Structure 1
Amino acid sequence: MIDPSIATPPVNRALPLEWPCRLGRVLVVDDDREARDAVLAELADHQCHAVGSSGRDVQHHLQRSQFSLVILDVRAGRIDGFGVLRRIRAHSDVPVILTTRQQQDEVDRILGLELGADEFSRDPLNPRELLARAHAILRRQEVGRRQSAAVTARGGYRFNGWELRRCTRVLTNPAGEVVELTKTEYALLVAFLEAPRRPLSRAHLIRTTKAHEDVQDRSIDVQVLRLRRKIEADRSGSRLIRTERGIGYILDVPVEILF
């Protein structure tokens, strides 16, 4: 049975006109009902519309309703938080903040981010800090959507003698020859071209290529290697895509937007 826990504002409080808050609907996932209710109450106190869920019921909630944010507990001995995150990322790009009350393990933190989490934070968080982080995530997401829409309207990119045309998805090398790209390679290249000389995390690239299920076998690294082989093949010693240790990858050349 679905747990219908929904945080509502205390009846003795006067609600501001902006109810619900700008975060929209927030899904709080924790198998410990007491801990979950505490988070729901904190969010309600800050005029946020929050819904509680067990790990088992996450997909049901996401299929039935639209959420702007998921707060997911990944404490050891509780729900398989990383398994829940994989299932979320297989079907949704909703921002996810992971929380844990145990000592934060570096490997777990990296795994969470590589699986597609947007934040990994020690619980309990100051509610105002949690809301500030959530607003920052949503702002970044909105900026990314606007930039993507603006770039899509343009014709393509030119970099280091190469040209990629968006309308036809055709990539040509400096000699004018067409170089075939797979769907994943094309998505990866566009991600790099939209953010030249800026380090991109593996988590960002995973979301870009929709390769969430393959992250454990380092599939994104394999895809980057294949793309490198194609766009660096004709220039001996040239490294257009660099590895940023501890972060991900960066396209280290200037990019020109075409018409």
Structure 2
Amino acid sequence: MEFTRITEKASKYNHLEKMTVNELLTNINNEDKTVPDAVEKSIPQIEALVEQTVPKLKNGGRLFYLGAGTSGRLGIVDASECPPTFGVSHDLVIGLIAGGDNAIRKAVEFAEDSTDQGWKDLETYHISENDVVVGIAASGTTPYVIGALQKCNENNIITGCITCNEGSPLAETAQFPIVVTVGPEFVTGSSRMKAGTAQKLVLNMISTTTMIQLGRVKGNKMVDMQLSNNKLVDRGTRMVMEELNINREKAAELLKQHGNVRNAINNYGA
């Protein structure tokens, strides 16, 4: 099948500058409503990647997200939220972006065009076949990401990807591709919109499902979350109260003593 960048196709809407604010918001929202349905069609692909990821992480491996621009930033967001949410090490899920940390806030010109830099960035983490690397690129054509995944494949490292263009070079390179076809953007080519939303949803699914499979959730609670602010301390206290059927004062005391919800519950009465 000939590769066509659907993410670059012309918007179904025209003369946007002539629309009212309400018309703009309504039309953007109508387009956004299509994204979850597109993600649903990709669940078997997401499942295949997660099934590969969980055993690697159980055996001491790591999950890397690699991207440029919006895609890179989304990977970093997902990776950075794993430690506070699930109490895992900052070294378990790692997000890398073309151009380095400076590119998180400001675009670094032509950083994504290097076919070698992605692999070099991974090498600084002593990447090995114990790890999993997921390339993120809405277009599916980013050299920084494709080059890195090609080297990973050569070195027997499991590769996945999240892209929004079927038949793209990235989807053809990854061993476990996830392709979410969301169609043309409301503003032609602005893949931070529907494509970015789709990537965020898939990243949520990958990390959350993986962490649950790793035992980082009990029932439906984040029992390993970091107690890094008063809101989370209060949430943790209520979780201990509910689980052990004790009053707030006793729950708060246990939480302070043991440092997190799981330990407070497991050590109650010990």
Same fold by TM (over 0.5)?
Answer: no
Q: Which structure carries more relative contact order (alpha carbon 8 Å, separation 6+)?
A: 2
Normalising by structure 2, we get a TM-score of 0.28
More helix by share: 2
- Relative to the length of structure 1, the TM-score reads 0.29
